[in-house]
Homo-oligomer: A and B are copies of this chain.
Amino acid sequence: MSTLLAELANVLGEQGMLTTPDDCSRFEQGARYGNGKTLAVLRPDSHEQVLNILNLCGQHQQPIVLQGANTGLVAASTPDGSGRYLVLSLERLRKHIEIDVDNRSVVVDAGVTLQELNEALEPHGLFFPIDLGANPSIGGMIAANTGGARLIKYGDVRQNLLGLRAVIAGEPAQELDMLSGLRKNNTGPDLKQLFVGSSGAYGIITRAVLQVHRMPQQSATALVVPRDQAAVLQLLRVLERDCSEFLSAFEGISGAALAAVVKHIPSITNPFAPEPLPEYCVLIELSSAANKDVTGIDLEAVLMRCMEELFGDVIENAIVGRGKDLWRIRHAISEALRHEGKMIAFDISMPRSSLVTFRAQALALMAERFAWIKVMDFGHWADGGAHFNMIWPKDAEVAYDVAIVEAIRTLIYDLVVNGFQGSFSAEHGVGPYNLAYYQRYTSAPAQQLAGRLQTLLDPQRLLGLTWFGPAQSAR
């Protein structure tokens, strides 16, 4: 190991490698899960250094964990407790942001963060529209294929990825340059797709070309109380029919989650006062990047008209306008929930048509079997995503028990996957934290193929903590 570290130090220079426990600690702790130990953090600032690292680690059979901005939620980018991984941080690979206004695209280094990218795009009236509650690196966003709250209008990362440069392991390691800024390009298998949503297990993403979008010129927001759960789908249907391409968010918020926000976030009060808090509500956003002076559209008036039409029949109450305040409620949910107790977070999805039935069945199951757990769910109905989060209250009569938490997870995931052809990981990806569920719910042929691909792309298993092949063939 000391030979390898010396060789790496030689390649990376003083700035490029951290070895003291103090310097390393922020790379060892994940945003939600994962808390391990690394011997050193490698911080290349060029593509050549990435190649060199992979070659040296290959010669010494030294596995590495890739890390971007360390905001992942499945422990895929932090080392485990074994201390046998090196961390390869891409955070210094962030020099290059090259905007092509006429092509509405940008070439960007993997270590650039979403916020940095959007700050560079803003003077051109452009933005990268993946809307998240964190500030990840672009490489990490591609490795996790993040989705976010506005997927229904803009798609996920994959749908906005025009080009990619990746380094794959081998003797020697190789660079795959697929950095074209093309919207149409069907020249054989699209190899860049291999690296999207693969948690860094198939290769190291070093640079990307992204499609970017015109910034919205207007938006209209409403917080709406549906008559009942079936009315939520009815509302979505009417909005897609009447507002179609303007619909940019349709976020369900349970009464329990809203109550937690009002209770724990001092600056937020019941938006429906003097009415009591509702049993369920939906945050709706319409937006348009078109020039208001040319189109004459007034989206707030459009949204108001929709609400009036639905009033009494589909919806019981609606607040239109005050977009910032309404989004603050949505964004405060995660923090508010933590005040209630220990969070059991879910990131599931299913066909939109199944959301109502799933929610009813899941709530009934929980009430029947785990009555002391408080479900405080919210989610992205328009794309079928649901954060079916729960709280184990601080003062519950049953003491917190990880075995019970696992039983709850399995209960909910079984219902989602087997009952509704849904997903146990909608937008967070797969890592050590949820790999057991990957093994449980992925078909045997798919696991075999994923593992064979991983062996082909990384024969020594140098990259990452996640093995996508069948469990019995894990290292």
Contacts and interface: CB of A to CB of B under 8 A. Distances in A.
Interface of A: 100-105, 125, 144-145, 147, 151-152, 155-156, 158-159, 168, 174-191, 193-194, 196-199, 201-202, 214, 217, 233, 236-237, 240-246, 288-291, 294-297, 302, 305-306, 309, 349-353, 380, 383-385, 421-430, 438, 441-443, 445-446, 449-450, 452-453, 456, 468
Given A102-B237, A188-B197, A189-B197, 17 more contacts: A151-B183, A155-B159, A168-B445, A182-B384, A182-B426, A183-B383, A185-B349, A186-B429, A187-B442, A188-B442, A189-B468, A193-B193, A214-B241, A243-B290, A245-B246, A246-B290, A295-B302
Nearest to A185: B423
A446 B353 contact: no
Contacts of A453: 189, 453, 456
A-B residue pairs, 9 tightest by C-beta: A102-B353, A244-B289, A193-B193, A184-B426, A185-B423, A242-B291, A103-B351, A244-B290, A183-B383
Nearest to A196: B190
A233 B100 CA distance: 13
Contacts of A383: 183-184
Contacts of A443: 176-177
A249 B134 CA distance: 35
Contacts of A189: 194, 197-198, 201-202, 450, 453, 468
Contacts of A468: 188-189
A155 B162 CA distance: 12
B144 A186 contact: yes
A158, A199, A237, A244 pick with most chain B CB within 10 angstroms: A244
B349 A449 contact: no
B197 A427 contact: no
A353 B124 CA distance: 15
A155, A188, A424, A430 pick with most chain B CB within 10 angstroms: A188
Nearest to A176: B445
B191 A197 contact: no
Contacts of A186: 144-145, 147, 197, 423, 425-430
A384 B187 CA distance: 15
A10 B422 CA distance: 38
A304 to B, nearest CB: 10
23 contacts: A102-B353, A151-B184, A159-B159, A177-B443, A180-B351, A180-B421, A181-B351, A181-B421, A182-B426, A183-B384, A184-B380, A186-B425, A187-B424, A188-B198, A188-B430, A188-B450, A191-B450, A214-B241, A242-B294, A243-B295, A244-B290, A294-B309, A297-B297
A353 B106 CA distance: 12
B297 A296 contact: yes
A214 B240 contact: yes
Contact of A384 (B158, B184, B199, B425): B184
A185, A245, A288 pick with most chain B CB within 10 angstroms: A185
A95 B423 CA distance: 27
A245, A289, A297, A423 pick with most chain B CB within 10 angstroms: A245
Given A105-B351, A196-B190, A125 B241 contact: yes
A180 B422 contact: yes
Contacts of A350: 182
A292 to B, nearest CB: 10
A191 B156 contact: no
Contact of A446 (B191, B197, B245, B442): B191
Contacts of A294: 242-243, 302, 305-306, 309
Contacts of A291: 241-244
A352 B296 CA distance: 29
Contacts of A190: 145, 158, 193, 196-197
Contacts of A185: 349, 423, 425-426
Contacts of A445: 168, 174-176
Contacts of A427: 184, 186
A446 B351 CA distance: 36
Contacts of A450: 188-189, 191
